[in-house]
Amino acid sequence: MGRLHMTRPHDDPHSSPHAGTYGEEVMPKRRTSLSGQRILITGAARGIGAALARSLTHQGAYVGLLGIEPELLAAVANDCGTASGPAPWRECDVTDADATEKCINDIVAELGGLDVIVANAGVAAQLPLVGGNPEIFRRTIEVNLMGVYNTVRAAGPHISHKNGYALLVSSLAAAINLPLLGAYSASKAAVEALGNTLRTELHPYGATAGVAYFGELDTEMTSRGFGTEAAKELTKSGPLLKVAPLAPAIRRVERGIARRSRIIAAPWYVRPLLPMRPVAQRVIDVTIRRNLASALEIARAENAPLTTAQRETVLRPPNQGDTTA
């Protein structure tokens, strides 16, 4: 399978009035110290969310945590605590609008206000659009899209003040769409649209919003999502892009939050791909075909689960349960 070959440019924060570290598009004349910032993160039990929470705490921020894995959340909260105790956290399924609103309000009360919301909770699973499990599609949209909407709807009033900020976590998959990731790509493209709309709607209050785009980072989501037999078949000629370490991406997110960036992108190659999406998509369409037919057949039989187990949610295999549209 062909690859996307890119040469990394030198970072030049002075190349334009809106350019920061490569991968960030920065609001002009706006920078906020992370120390003392009150930041709420969803999907904080593992991966990007947990790493970001720990790193922000090290920078002097006060964090609140939401997620669906209480044991892991408690461990992160202990790592992010202060002398008075662990960081505030709640077990919360962001697809439940009422529960999300209550949990966010509770944590904001404990933090004494809110400066930043990071809508990070998300899931993924391989899914052939024809012959795949429709429950996987439904749940992916519920978590990745409705969960983000429920989060910003509940947190929005708390950040609608001068220098308030919402960061919505999208993906490179919103711009470049791979086979077997149709549900994930659709959900992340919608998150991108929500972020761009929210930015405009927050402007009258002195607040703003950014969208984060990540490629393949070294997280459990990546290893689980690409650890299936179908993924191995699809990429057996070699990966399109190498998995990148998580730590540099977290540093980029921290800088983006401090600068209230419109766009945060990691690894380095993601930012230049965004305006090139029609060309990059055509490259993918052509180069991915080699093992695609066999990969689709494997995926239909494999019926891979979501990367994060959903509590109290039954994902029925295809062709079972209701047959109504």
List, by residue number, the catalytic residues: 184
Residue where the block lists tokens 């400066």: 115
Nearest to 117, CA basis, from 105, 134, 129 = 105
Query: Side by side, which strands form the sheet with 208-214?
Result: 24-25, 263-266, 208-214, 165-169, 116-119, 38-41, 62-67, 89-91
Measure Cα distances from 295 to 96, 120, 131 in Å.
34, 29, 13
Strand 263-266 versus strand 165-169 pairing type: unpaired
CA dihedral 241, 244, 248, 253 (to 10 degrees): 60
For 291, half-sphere exposure in the C-beta direction (CA atoms, 13 angstrom radius) is: 17
Residue where the block lists tokens 């494999």: 302
Q: How far apart are CA 277 and CA 182, in angstroms?
A: 16
Paired tokens of 77: 């909260």
Rg for the chain (alpha carbons), in Å?
19
Paired tokens of 205: 């209050």
Buried b (16+ CB within 10 A) or exposed e, 219-239: bebbebbbebebbebbbeeee
